[in-house]
Amino acid sequence: MFKKIQTSVGDILDFPPDVAGEGPKITITGKLQILVENYISILNFSDQEIRLETAEGNVCITGKGLVLKVLLPTELRIEGEVVSLTFEGGEIK
């Protein structure tokens, strides 16, 4: 019920989806840094690939020398040479 109210209020006030919803907010700074907010869990981690579970499907980040610089319950910062970012699965609402 709360999620229904939350979505309705967000729609009425014209909030962007990252503010009103639980989806991920991804900020890319050049090719060297990615900030991901509202992720659920880390599915895979290596220096060449980081795969995250989010409420809207998985996010896969590939690159070279990838390192988790900040790791908090709802936010993480990845540094290294980013080659690609892709979304897998999930439904668009």
Domains of the chain and any CATH numbers: 21-88 (2.60.40.2000)
Quick one: pLDDT band at residue 86, thresholds 50, 70, 90? Answer: very high
Tens of pLDDT, residue by residue over 60-83, are 999 999 999 999 999 999 999 999
pLDDT digits (tens, 9 = 90+) for 12-24: 655 555 455 678 9
pLDDT at site 16:
57
The structure's pTM equals 0.74
Q: What is the mean pLDDT of residues 44-60?
A: 95
Instruction: Give the pLDDT band (50/70/90) at residue 4.
Output: low
State the pairing for strand pair 57-72/49-54. Answer: antiparallel
User: DSSP character for 90?
Assistant: -
